[in-house]
Amino acid sequence: MKRSLKLLIGWGGLSALVYGLVLAAFPMWALYRVRHGSLSTLLPVNLPTGLLLASLVLVLLVGYMSGYRLLQRLEPNRPTLLVVTLFPLLFVALLLWVQPISSVDLYDYLFRGRMLAHYGANPFTAIPEQFATDPMIDFIGWRKAVTAYGPLWELMSWGAAWLAGGDLLRLLFSYKMLAVLSYVLCAWVLWWNWDSRTAQQRMHGLYLWLWNPLILWEVVGMGHNDGWLALALIVTALALLRQRYRLALVALVAGALIKFLPLLLIPVVLLAMLRWVGWRAFGQGLLGLGLGGLLAAAAYTPFWAGLATFANIYERQPLWHGAPLALARQLAAQQLGVVVNPWEAWPGGWLTLAMLGIVVGLVLLLLLFRRMSGPMALLLTFWLVLYFANPWFQPWYVIWIIALVCCLPDNEVSLRMAHLFASTALLSYLASAFLLPQLGWSGEGLAWQAFFVAFVYLLPLLPLLRRLPLGRVPLLRWRGAPSRLAKR
């Protein structure tokens, strides 16, 4: 057995040990009835505890990238594949039973699924507060809001709630299994032979997804539904590389039926196809968009209530915290007296929408002057959205970036940026829970917001900034683009 493979096995074993310690500290079967349990309520809030947890997170992050470097030295053969795939099974078995402690979204998912499966209520028009006598109401965070997601997710949520019945622990397990299914399907699609990637590229993409600590924590541990959006993005990217343009657009629309952000990416993908390949690809993309429209109509049919069905889009209230746009708003409020109320749809929601439109417009303008592959255009758009048009940072948003990087593992700069972003995203939990109390700052104050944004957002830019003096921006290149796709 090669030394590199032995070292990879060692990193896998060490990672499994860390996940086992997390399970021992936060077992779901013992904590699932703790209301809004978090790190700060379940552990002593002191510096030694924070440093211990940070050390464990750093072990996972260093092991992940070290394992990737070891994998680059190995042949994509059967022993390597077994190591790459078997350890994640152990990781999943451990994290599946970890209590969601960094987010209560899983409880919100299951309550809205229960509203549909148990009460027959429409999650697009009904709110949890209408079911105040339900014994699970105290566990959720968003009682006065309709669902924030699309109909495809709500249909899956209904299925998970219907299968689990009325027991809270079974519901949690059911939704976690739904998240695990998205995690496994993403891995399967990444490994599938799309003819446009070598066996080594497929192995690298598989590892980058399966072993990523942020993916494992947010998708398997916390049960976030972003794994399903990631699946849509992965299918879109790989279908574009394989010149399956109809499938790419259908997948992108399916992603928008889970979370709405991919809607903004449709014009980006269409223009990228037009500039990268030509009118034939553009026409196929429009056909795929039509098929996606049929899928959307079918998904919305069970929930249709007229224009009220889209209240979760046009009445959405943005939150402002931990993002450059939120910091800019706070600076404007303090220095210029310009206040954007975060709890009002106007002007807060429209400001966010305007920033999203500006980002997409800039990418479209760039595509007019520079030919760029569809997957790289998607990746660039997500980077710009998270940096300039997102008012509220959550660590699981980085999953979108990682999903696309897994499809383009040859882009070293994007890979390093994504790893640093995942690292700062994970460590941000510990910073908020343990460092903030030590500093004595207000969590909503300007000092903490500036520190948080600098830590989370500036460190991932280091790989890009190191290369900028050389001329062309490496983020916009991908050495592994098939030569046949460059033909018009």
Q: Outline where DSSP puts E strands in 308-433.
A: none
Determine the distance from the C-alpha atom of residue 79 to the mean position of all C-alpha atoms in its chain, rounded to a whole number: 30
Residue in 385, 397, 411 with CA at minimum distance from that of residue 325: 385
CA angle 293, 372, 483 (to 5 degrees): 105
What per-residue confidence (pLDDT) applies to 320?
A: 78
Which of the 8 DSSP states describes residue 460?
Answer: G
Average pLDDT in the chain: 87
d(CA 344, CA 360): 24
What per-residue confidence (pLDDT) applies to 488?
A: 30
pLDDT band at 1 (very low <50, low <70, confident <90, very high): low
Q: Summarize pLDDT for 268-288 with one digit per residue, the tens.
A: 888 888 877 788 888 888 999
Looking at the chain, the whole-number percentage of residues with pLDDT higher than 90 is 57
Whether 197 shows a pLDDT value over 60: the answer reads yes
Q: Is the full-model pTM beyond 0.85?
A: yes
- In a domain, residue 132? The reply is no
User: Which amino acid, residue 166?
Assistant: G
The phi-psi region of residue 45 (left if phi > 0; otherwise alpha if psi is between -120 and 50; otherwise beta) is beta
The domain tally of the chain equals 1
Token pair for 186: 């993403």
* Helix, strand, coil percent content, the chain, rounded in steps of 5: 75, 0, 25
Domain range for 51 is 1-100
Beta-bridge partners for 307 = 305
Place of tokens 């030590």: 438
What per-residue confidence (pLDDT) applies to 485?
A: 33
User: Which amino acid, residue 3?
Assistant: R
Q: Summarize pLDDT for 40-51 with one digit per residue, the tens.
A: 788 888 889 999
Q: Summarize pLDDT for 26-73 with one digit per residue, the tens.
A: 999 999 998 776 777 888 888 899 999 999 999 999 999 999 999 999
Q: Looking at residues 221-226, what average pLDDT do you find?
A: 96
pLDDT band at 353 (very low <50, low <70, confident <90, very high): low
User: Which amino acid, residue 100?
Assistant: P
Q: Summarize pLDDT for 74-106 with one digit per residue, the tens.
A: 998 999 999 999 999 999 999 999 999 998 899
Q: Looking at residues 333-351, what average pLDDT do you find?
A: 55
Beta-bridge partners for 98 = 27
What per-residue confidence (pLDDT) applies to 339?
A: 57
d(CA 141, CA 127): 12
Whether 175 shows a pLDDT value over 70: the answer reads yes
- In a domain, residue 7? The reply is yes
3-class secondary structure per residue, 135-166 = CCHHHCCCCCCCCCCCHHHHHHHHHHHHHHCC
- In a domain, residue 453? The reply is no
Token pair for 189: 């699609």
Spatial contact of 274 and 282, defined as CB atoms under 8 Å apart = yes
Whether 479 shows a pLDDT value over 60: the answer reads no
What per-residue confidence (pLDDT) applies to 484?
A: 36
At 217, phi and psi to the nearest 5? -70, -50
Whether 360 shows a pLDDT value over 90: the answer reads no
At 344, phi and psi to the nearest 5? -115, 135
- In a domain, residue 457? The reply is no
Residue in 57, 48, 50, 70 with CA at minimum distance from that of residue 19: 57
Whether 475 shows a pLDDT value over 50: the answer reads no
Place of tokens 């860390």: 18
76-90, 167-181, 192-206, 210-224: range with lowest mean pLDDT: 192-206
Q: Looking at residues 234-250, what average pLDDT do you find?
A: 91
DSSP string computed for 337-352: -----TTSIIIIIHHH
Beta-bridge partners for 278 = none
Residues 6+ positions from 424 with CB-CB distance below 8 Å: 455, 456, 457, 459, 460
CA angle 74, 78, 83 (to 5 degrees): 70
Greatest mean pLDDT among 357-361, 419-423, 436-440 = 419-423
The phi-psi region of residue 195 (left if phi > 0; otherwise alpha if psi is between -120 and 50; otherwise beta) is left
Tell me the chain's radius of gyration from C-alpha atoms: 22
At 38, phi and psi to the nearest 5? -145, 175
- In a domain, residue 64? The reply is yes
More confident residue, 239 or 40: 239
d(CA 107, CA 186): 24
What per-residue confidence (pLDDT) applies to 151?
A: 96
Place of tokens 């998970």: 160
- In a domain, residue 304? The reply is no
Greatest mean pLDDT among 124-133, 175-184, 283-292, 338-347 = 175-184
CA angle 146, 171, 97 (to 5 degrees): 120
Residues 6+ positions from 102 with CB-CB distance below 8 Å: 38, 39, 217, 222, 395, 429
Q: Summarize pLDDT for 382-403 with one digit per residue, the tens.
A: 888 888 888 889 999 999 999 9
b/e burial code for range 6-19 (CB count within 10 A of at least 16 → b): eebbebbeebbebb
Reduce the DSSP state of residue 451 to 3 states and report it.
helix
Whether 483 shows a pLDDT value over 50: the answer reads no
Angle, helix 151-164 to helix 105-118, in steps of 10 degrees? 80
Q: Summarize pLDDT for 108-155 with one digit per residue, the tens.
A: 999 999 999 999 999 999 999 999 999 999 999 888 889 999 999 999
Whether 346 shows a pLDDT value over 50: the answer reads no
What per-residue confidence (pLDDT) applies to 422?
A: 95
Q: Looking at residues 352-371, what average pLDDT do you find?
A: 76
More confident residue, 172 or 193: 172
Peptide bond connecting 347 to the previous residue in cis, omega within 30 degrees of 0 = yes
DSSP string computed for 170-232: HHHHHHHHHHHHHHHHHHHHHHS--SSS-HHHHHHHHHHHHT-HHHIIIIIIS--THHHHHHH
Q: Looking at residues 184-194, what average pLDDT do you find?
A: 89
Looking at the chain, the whole-number percentage of residues with pLDDT higher than 70 is 89
- In a domain, residue 88? The reply is yes
What per-residue confidence (pLDDT) applies to 39?
A: 79
d(CA 308, CA 124): 8
- In a domain, residue 69? The reply is yes
Whether 470 shows a pLDDT value over 60: the answer reads no
Token pair for 146: 């309709």
